[in-house]
Amino acid sequence: MRFRESDYAAIKRKAEKANMNFTEFVTAAALNKPVTVINGLRDVLKEQKAIGRNLNQLTTLCNMGKIVCPDLTELIRQYGEVYGKISGLSGRCG
């Protein structure tokens, strides 16, 4: 496929905004598939991954016998915050 330079640049910007590569974005657009961009989702997912890493570390320590009954209060609080953010972001879709 050939594109004018200005069109290519505009499509590339849209693909990056959608967190897709150029080919994925053009294919989705050509097949009339929805492309949804949710501002702020990247930060929320980063927080969620950090919580997952903390939980994995606690699980490893429990399995090693180094801790017996970890206090998950802070982890639950953080997860609640992330869940609230995800719920708020999902309300902006569709």
Helix, strand, coil shares of the chain, percent, nearest 5, are 70, 0, 30
Task: Write the pLDDT tens digit of every residue in 57-71.
Answer: 999 999 999 988 888
Q: What is the pLDDT of residue 19?
A: 83
What is the rounded average pLDDT of the residues 83-92?
Answer: 79
| Residue 65 DSSP code | T
Q: Is 36 helix (H, G, I), strand (E, B) or coil?
A: coil
* pTM value > 0.75: no
Q: Name the average pLDDT for the chain.
A: 88
**pLDDT over 70 for what percent of the chain?**
97
pLDDT band at 49; cut points 50, 70, 90: very high
Residue for token digits 């200005």? Answer: 6
Dihedral sign computed on CA atoms, order 88, 92, 93, 94: positive
Query: Taking Cα atoms as reference points, which of 20, 57, 51, 58 lies closest to residue 36?
Result: 20
